[in-house]
């Protein structure tokens, strides 16, 4: 998905991100189910500002008990791009257009929750027998 440099003005414009990463896995056990993201962009001198915002739906499993779950994550990820000649710039743009896909990809990656739990109170699995401790007690001795 290309954004052509002449289309980038000093006043902010927006476009909807195409769903090119549908169904991809972004972390072990985490699959992207869909997203609605908007790319807002404008130019400020040599710099180009991109802001990717919206929400995405993930399919994952609880880090503690392994229960499958779906979650919605809101995100807002800004990027500042500089001409390719700029040294020490984290993000650069070329001569004609900006390929937005890598930025959309990165915005998604940066917003995958580091820890995914079915509930903050999830008790996980018994380290002895492997039973889901959110259900009836398994009877094993508690270690610790
Ligand atoms: Zn859990
Ligand atoms: Zn047990």
Each residue of 59-95: pLDDT tens digit? Answer: 999 999 999 999 999 999 999 999 988 888 999 998 8
Query: Could you tell me the pTM of the whole model?
Result: 0.85
Query: Residue 143 — pLDDT band, cuts 50, 70, 90?
Result: low
pLDDT of residue 12: 98
pLDDT of residue 38: 98
Distance from the alpha carbon of residue 118 to the mean position of ligand 2, in angstroms: 20
Distance from the alpha carbon of residue 141 to the mean position of ligand 1, in angstroms: 21
Q: Which neighbouring-strand residues pair with 7?
A: none
Query: What tokens were used for 90?
Result: 């984290």
Mean pLDDT over the full length of the chain: 93
Distance from the alpha carbon of residue 58 to the mean position of ligand 1, in angstroms: 16
- Residue 72's alpha-carbon distances to 25, 34, 49, 52, 112, in angstroms, are 15, 10, 26, 16, 10
d(CA 55, CA 36): 6
The predicted model gives 2-30 an average pLDDT of 92
Q: Domain ranges for the chain, please list them.
A: 2-110
d(CA 33, CA 14): 23
pLDDT of residue 41: 98
- Residue 116's alpha-carbon distances to 37, 38, 84, 140, in angstroms, are 22, 25, 37, 26
pLDDT of residue 86: 86
| pLDDT beyond 70 at 40 | yes
The predicted model gives 34-46 an average pLDDT of 96
Residues in the chain: 144
Question: Which ligand has the shortest distance to the CA of 118?
Answer: 1
Q: Is residue 33 classed as helix, strand or coil in its secondary structure?
A: strand
Distance from the alpha carbon of residue 122 to the mean position of ligand 2, in angstroms: 15
């Amino acid at each position: 998905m290309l954004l052509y440099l002449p289309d980038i003005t000093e006043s902010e414009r927006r476009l909807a991100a195409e769903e090119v990463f549908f169904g991809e896995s972004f972390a072990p056990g985490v699959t992207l189910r869909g997203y609605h993201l908007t790319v807002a962009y404008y130019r400020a001198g040599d710099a180009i500002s991109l802001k990717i915002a919206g929400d995405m739906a993930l399919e994952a499993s609880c880090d503690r008990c392994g229960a499958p779950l779906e979650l919605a994550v809101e995100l807002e990820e800004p990027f500042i791009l500089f001409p390719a000649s700029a040294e020490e710039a984290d993000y650069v743009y070329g001569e004609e257009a900006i390929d937005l896909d890598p930025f959309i990809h990165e915005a998604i990656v940066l917003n995958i929750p580091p820890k995914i739990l079915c509930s903050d109170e999830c008790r996980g699995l018994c380290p002895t027998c492997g039973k889901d401790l959110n259900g009836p007690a398994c009877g094993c001795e508690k270690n610790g």
